[in-house]
Amino acid sequence: MDPRLHNYEPLAEIEVDAVRPDAQGFMLTGQGPDHAEYQLDLRFEMPLDLRTRTVLGELLSHSDLTISRRAPGGLARALRERRNRAPQR
């Protein structure tokens, strides 16, 4: 496993209940195991044709999301570990 992935901690695992298209993407809503409602706005910087929007909407409606964040101090720790592994001159 990529060691950089260890610098992230999961915040929420969400089962997508609904996908609504909007002007530049989709709004996904769902519930987490904590029974809280979550919303994720997914935006694209390019226009989506109708077929692409339909296919993406269908795929996203059958998905689960894991939202993670970098663990506190993770970046500094990762840089320190990389520096310590570097060949000494």
Percent of the chain with pLDDT over 70: 79
Q: Which of 26-40, 48-62, 70-84 has the lowest mean pLDDT?
A: 70-84
Q: What residue type is assigned to position 15 of the chain?
A: E
User: Do the beta carbons of residue 31 and residue 14 sit within 8 Å?
Assistant: yes
Which pLDDT band, with edges at 50, 70 and 90, does 22 fall under?
confident
What's the token pair of residue 22? 């909007």
| Number of domain units in the chain | 1
Which structural domain range is residue 55 located in? Answer: 3-85
What's the token pair of residue 35? 């029974």
Is the pLDDT score of 29 beyond 50? yes
Give the integer Cα–Cα distance in Å for 76 and 87: 19
Give the integer Cα–Cα distance in Å for 1 and 76: 20
